[in-house]
Amino acid sequence: MSKSTSSSIMASSQTSYQAVVHVWYKDPAKHRGQNLKIDVPDNSLVDDYHTFGVDLSPQAIVFFRDGKRVWSQPTPPELDGPMYPLVNLHSEAAGQSIGRPTPPRSS
């Protein structure tokens, strides 16, 4: 049974972001996950500096913003191996893309 797990914090707009826990299998029919849309004041994700964190334990995956707990989920039983951080800076605020190539727009 080939699988991988991930927990993510993803900015999805200028007024919210998502905390996500996924379990991915080779067989897509077995994929599952949970996510929570977290609303924030307009433009605060781009106008202010924030810290984000994830605490992994055998019991729970806990998400933080600016040192405050914002969401938690029970740790999936598949999360039974070493974990490591993967940081990806990506933002599409104000029509800009940072952290990944963006193809030119056709006129």
Helices first, then strands: H and E counts in the chain: 1, 6
Q: What is the pLDDT of residue 5?
A: 62
Q: Are 42 and 15 in contact (CB under 8 A)?
A: yes
Whether 73 maps to a domain, the answer reads yes
Whether 98 maps to a domain, the answer reads no
Q: pTM here?
A: 0.72
Whether 43 maps to a domain, the answer reads yes
Q: What is the pLDDT of residue 60?
A: 93
d(CA 63, CA 7): 9
d(CA 37, CA 10): 9
Whether 11 maps to a domain, the answer reads yes
Whether 69 maps to a domain, the answer reads yes
Return the SS3 of 7: strand
Phi, psi values for residue 46, rounded to 5°: -105, -25
- Overall number of domains in the chain: 1
d(CA 31, CA 6): 12
- Per-residue pLDDT 10s for the chain (107 aa) are 566 666 666 666 778 888 888 888 888 888 888 888 889 888 888 788 888 888 999 999 999 999 999 999 999 888 887 777 666 655 555 455 444 444 445 44
Whether 91 maps to a domain, the answer reads no
Q: What is the pLDDT of residue 103?
A: 45
Query: Can you read off the two tokens belonging to residue 35?
Result: 């996510």
Whether 58 maps to a domain, the answer reads yes
Q: What is the pLDDT of residue 64?
A: 93
Whether 86 maps to a domain, the answer reads no
- Please give the residue range of the domain that contains residue 53: 3-79
